[in-house]
Structure 1
Amino acid sequence: MPSSAIKNFFKRETPEEQPTWLILLGIVSIAIYAFSRTGFMDAAEISSAIATLTGFWGLYKYGKVVNSHILFRFIWVALIFQFISWALSVYVTPEWARETPQLDKITRWFTFIPLAWWVAQRKNAVWLIWGSAALGILISPWVTGEGIPEIIRGLNGERVFFGLRQAQHTSLFFGIILIGLLCFARKIMSINKWLTIPLVLTILYCLLVIYINSSRQAWLALLLTAFFMASYFTIKRFKRATGKQKFVTITLFLFGTISLGSLVATNETIVDRVMEERQSLSAIVTLDFDDVPYTSFGIRLHSWAAATDFIKEKPIFGWGSNGRTLVMKHTEWLPNWVQKDFGHLHNTYIEMLVNFGIVGLIFYLFMWVYMTKSLFKEIHRGTIERSIGYFYMSFLCFWSIMNCFEAYQNFWTGVFYFTVFMTGIQAKIWRAKYLI
Structure 2
Amino acid sequence: MLERTFLQRSNPYIMIKAFKLERFINNHHFQQIMLFCLFGYVLFKESNRYIGDIFQSCVVVGSLLAIYVYRKYFFQDKIFLSLIASIIVSILSWTNSIVSDPSLAKSSPNIGFLGNLFFFIMIAYWLKADLKNIRTFLFLFLIGLLMTLFTHSSDIVLDIYNGFNGERVDFNFINANHSAALAGCAILLTSYYEIKTIKSNCSFKSKLLSVFLYLLITFPFIFIAIVTKARQVWLAIFLILILYIGYEIIKGGSFKKKIAIILSFLITISLVSKIPVIEERINTESAVFSAISTGQIDTLPYTSIGTRLHFWSEAIPWIKKYPILGFGEDTRNLVIKESPNIPEKVKASFSHLHNGHIEILVSYGLLGFSLLMFVCVTLIKSAYSVRDFDQGESYYLILIFITYFIIINMFESFWLFKTGLYMFTIFCAAAYSLYLTSSIKRFYNEK
Task: Please report the TM-score for the alignment, with normalisation by the length of structure 1.
Answer: 0.91
Q: Is the 8 A contact 1:55 1:114 kept in 2?
A: yes
Q: Is the 8 A contact 1:318 1:357 kept in 2?
A: yes
2:406 matched to which residue of 1? 400
Q: Which runs of 5 or more residues in structure 1 are unaligned?
A: none
Q: Is the 8 A contact 1:12 1:62 kept in 2?
A: no
Q: Is the 8 A contact 1:174 1:210 kept in 2?
A: yes
Decide which of 171, 175, 182 is 1:166's aligned counterpart: 175
SS of 1:415 mapped into structure 2: helix
Q: Is the 8 A contact 2:397 2:427 kept in 1?
A: no
- How far apart, CA to CA, are the structure 2 residues paired with 1:319 and 1:11? 45
| Residues 21-65 of structure 1: per-residue CA shift (max 9 Å, x gap) | 111111110110100111122211110000111012122225655
- Going from structure 1 to structure 2, the CA distance change for 1:327 and 1:336 (only over 3 Å counts) comes to same
7-16 or 416-425: bigger deviation? 7-16
116-125 or 34-43: bigger deviation? 116-125
Decide which of 40, 45, 49 is 1:32's aligned counterpart: 40
- Going from structure 1 to structure 2, the CA distance change for 1:400 and 1:205 (only over 3 Å counts) comes to same
Alignment of 1:248 with 2:256, yes or no, is yes
How far off is 1:435 after superposition? 4.3
1:418 matched to which residue of 2? 424
2:373 matched to which residue of 1? 365
How far off is 1:188 after superposition? 6.6
1:345 matched to which residue of 2? 353
Q: Identity, % of aligned pairs? A: 25
Decide which of 196, 210, 225 is 2:225's aligned counterpart: 210
Decide which of 222, 226, 235 is 1:220's aligned counterpart: 235
Q: Is the 8 A contact 1:351 1:407 kept in 2?
A: yes
Structure 2 residue identity aligned to 1:165:
I
Decide which of 170, 175, 189 is 1:180's aligned counterpart: 189
Q: Is the 8 A contact 2:128 2:434 kept in 1?
A: yes
| Residues 200-225 of structure 1: per-residue CA shift (max 9 Å, x gap) | 21112211111111111111111111
- How far apart, CA to CA, are the structure 2 residues paired with 1:223 and 1:373? 24
- How far apart, CA to CA, are the structure 2 residues paired with 1:31 and 1:215? 28
- How far apart, CA to CA, are the structure 1 residues paired with 2:150 and 2:266? 37
- How far apart, CA to CA, are the structure 1 residues paired with 2:20 and 2:413? 40
1:19 matched to which residue of 2? 27
Structure 2 residue identity aligned to 1:404:
M
- How far apart, CA to CA, are the structure 2 residues paired with 1:86 and 1:65? 30
- How far apart, CA to CA, are the structure 2 residues paired with 1:261 and 1:200? 17
8-17 or 89-98: bigger deviation? 8-17
- How far apart, CA to CA, are the structure 2 residues paired with 1:388 and 1:117? 14
- How far apart, CA to CA, are the structure 1 residues paired with 2:32 and 2:262? 49
- How far apart, CA to CA, are the structure 1 residues paired with 2:176 and 2:437? 36
Decide which of 336, 352, 357 is 2:344's aligned counterpart: 336
- Going from structure 1 to structure 2, the CA distance change for 1:394 and 1:35 (only over 3 Å counts) comes to same
| Residues 300-354 of structure 1: per-residue CA shift (max 9 Å, x gap) | 1000000001111111111111211110100011100111211100111100110
- How far apart, CA to CA, are the structure 1 residues paired with 2:23 and 2:413? 38
Q: Is the 8 A contact 2:24 2:30 kept in 1?
A: no
- Going from structure 1 to structure 2, the CA distance change for 1:254 and 1:199 (only over 3 Å counts) comes to closer
Structure 2 residue identity aligned to 1:363:
L
Q: Is the 8 A contact 2:394 2:432 kept in 1?
A: no
Decide which of 354, 364, 372 is 1:356's aligned counterpart: 364
Structure 1 residue identity aligned to 2:412:
E
Which runs of 4 or more aligned residues in structure 1 lie more than 4 Å from their structure 2 counterparts after TM superposition? Answer: 3-7, 11-17, 62-67, 186-196
Q: Which runs of 5 or more residues in structure 2 are unaligned?
A: 1-10, 443-447
- How far apart, CA to CA, are the structure 2 residues paired with 1:293 and 1:205? 34
How far off is 1:266 after superposition? 3.0
- Going from structure 1 to structure 2, the CA distance change for 1:16 and 1:22 (only over 3 Å counts) comes to closer
Alignment of 1:296 with 2:304, yes or no, is yes
Task: Please report the TM-score for the alignment, with normalisation by the length of structure 2.
Answer: 0.89
Q: Is the 8 A contact 2:34 2:62 kept in 1?
A: yes
Q: Is the 8 A contact 2:18 2:69 kept in 1?
A: yes
How far off is 1:11 after superposition? 4.2
SS of 2:348 mapped into structure 1: helix
Question: How do residues 193-208 of structure 1 correspond to structure 2 at under 5 angstroms?
Answer: 194-208=209-223
- Going from structure 1 to structure 2, the CA distance change for 1:122 and 1:271 (only over 3 Å counts) comes to closer
- How far apart, CA to CA, are the structure 2 residues paired with 1:421 and 1:47? 18
Decide which of 166, 179, 200 is 1:157's aligned counterpart: 166
2:393 matched to which residue of 1? 387
